[in-house]
A and B are shown apart, each in its own frame.
Chain A
Amino acid sequence: MRPGNRARAYAALGAAIVALTLVPGGARRALAEYGDVVINNYSDAAGVRPAVFPHWFHRVRFRCKVCHSDLGFKFKAGGNEINMLKIIDGQFCGACHNGNIAWSVENCDLCHSGKPGTPTQVHESTIQQLAAPAETPAAAKK
């Protein structure tokens, strides 16, 4: 190392120590948006990515009532037995993703956008938030 660089190197190493204290645990966790629902009853088995439903995006456009009362979505991730036939027949997501209210169903990738193997879940739900040792799978799932 050139001597002139030494001071800068020390400064950088100081920063490294700061970084150390700022990055505890170090376990990788998902940071997806609060309320994102992964729906994976059939997707993995059918060879498509799991569907991801973003609540934040939809609640900017619709009140809960439209989906959970008028369209009959039950308050339960994975609890509606949604499949593609129902969707193209205008039920569930298909009540809107029909090329009329929102883009149509041929945009598979926009819904089927989850990491393969991600289980059905509501992201950042209370259960997921309960502290768990960083190395357990539960924490990794966060």
Chain B
Amino acid sequence: MRSRITLYITLGALTGSAVSLHAQDRGGTGKAVYEKSCALCHAAGIAGAPKLGDAGEWSARLRAGIATLYRSAVAGTPNGMPAKGGNLSLSGAEVRAAVDYMVRSAGGAPKSSAVPGGKRATASARGAAKPAAGNPAQIGAAPASKPARETPTPTVVAAAPSGTPAQAAIDPNAFNRLLAPPGGRNPPPAEDGIHDPGNPGIHALQPPLESFQRLPRANAGNRVNWVAALGKKQIQPRWDLGDPQAEPSAMDLNIVREVKGSMPDVVYPHRQHTEWLDCSNCHPAIFVPQKGANQISMAAILLGQKCGVCHGKVAFPVSECRLCHSRKKDAPASSTAAVPAAEARK
């Protein structure tokens, strides 16, 4: 156990001096929040809550990484830890401060992040490499043995609260067995599960929400309506590598693809596509430029072919049926010729 904790200390040092600053100014808050909202269960260990000061229990939990503990505390766990201890008025930062306080009470990681020399470690860790492979760059990553690297390290970025579920026993009778919980959407890189939170460069990356909060929202994908963002000139992505002035010449040509069955017909709009893409991105590799000449089916799209080359990968995902299936069939009952949803949204 000891050696584990030492590892965390070193990893904590890696994340640098910014962390120690945070850790220091939160000492007071952490204790206050703990006493008000957490002591209830965590003082006596009610319902299996890890007790304040119980080093054995906390260090075992710390193995999942402090980021996981933060998540459990903010989002709750299925084993009795209520989200934010049941006090939903707490901010994410306050909850994390309380976690730091509790972990520190047991001699765990956040205290260690104040270890001096963190800054040096950060500087020398540029180009940190996976140590096992014996790359020269590995000096940077020296403290991290492989298993420790895969463990989330202290992340003290106080960005978007993450509602991620904790890793915990799965209730076989959970209401949603397959539907993934909404979770913390657009989390900052250090918490997103594919970035390595132990990477010293991680905090230099932009948290998506910082960018997205200025853009029109959508229901899926990045949760940004990219067509509207571009249309309203809220973003000005370049059309040319070096020339910020260059403009695309969008082509306004809709292709209607009739769909058998009840689903509305598909309107494929060239305009929105040629704002972003070159003709050669689609023609002829993905689509022969001739109306009706291409076999397109949902099965192909779901497999990442045809429209699915982009939709379901980078452009809005396949779940947004009505953005593509936007034209009502000419059914005798409803004669109101539908405007394609894509157009109506403009």
Contacts and interface: CB of A to CB of B under 8 A. Distances in A.
Given A27-B167, A56-B208, A113-B205, A35 B47 contact: no
A129 B316 CA distance: 13
Given A44-B130, A63-B239, A115 B208 contact: no
Contacts of B323: none
B284 interface: no
Interface in A68-88: 68-71, 75
Given A36-B194, A63-B276, A66-B239, 13 more contacts: A12-B85, A15-B83, A19-B77, A20-B80, A23-B165, A24-B78, A31-B183, A56-B211, A64-B281, A75-B310, A115-B194, A122-B313, A133-B177
B82 interface: yes
Interface in B146-161: 146, 149-150
Interface in B186-202: 186-187, 189, 191-196, 199-202
Contact-residue size bin, chain B (C-beta under 8 Å from the other chain): 35 or more
A126 B306 CA distance: 13
Contact of B187 (A9, A31, A122): A31
Contacts of B77: 19, 23, 26
B44 interface: yes
A25 B177 contact: yes
Contacts of A14: 86
Interface of B (DSSP majority class): loop
Interface of A: 1, 5, 8-9, 11-16, 18-36, 38, 44-49, 52, 54-57, 59-66, 68-71, 75, 95-96, 101, 106-110, 112-118, 122-127, 129, 131-135, 139, 142
Contacts of B194: 30, 32, 36, 38, 52, 114-115, 118, 123
B178 A133 contact: yes
A28 B189 CA distance: 16
Contacts of B339: none
B264 interface: no
Contact of B309 (A75, A115, A133): A75
Given A26-B165, A47-B131, A116-B150, A131 B191 contact: no
Question: Taking each of A25, A28, A108, A129, which has the highest tally of chain B beta carbons within 10 Å of its own beta carbon?
Answer: A25
A96 to B, nearest CB: 7
A31 B180 CA distance: 11
Given A16-B80, A126-B308, A31 B162 contact: yes
A134 B308 contact: no
A109 B126 contact: yes
Contacts of B324: none
Contact of A116 (B149, B162, B201): B149
Contacts of B130: 44, 47-49, 116
Contacts of A16: 47, 76, 80-82, 86
Contact of B76 (A23, A59, A106, A129): A23
Nearest to A33: B208
B231 to A, nearest CB: 14
A124 B226 contact: no
B146 A116 contact: yes
Q: Top 5 A-B pairs ranked by shortest CB distance?
A: A30-B193, A109-B201, A47-B133, A15-B86, A19-B76
A116 B195 CA distance: 9
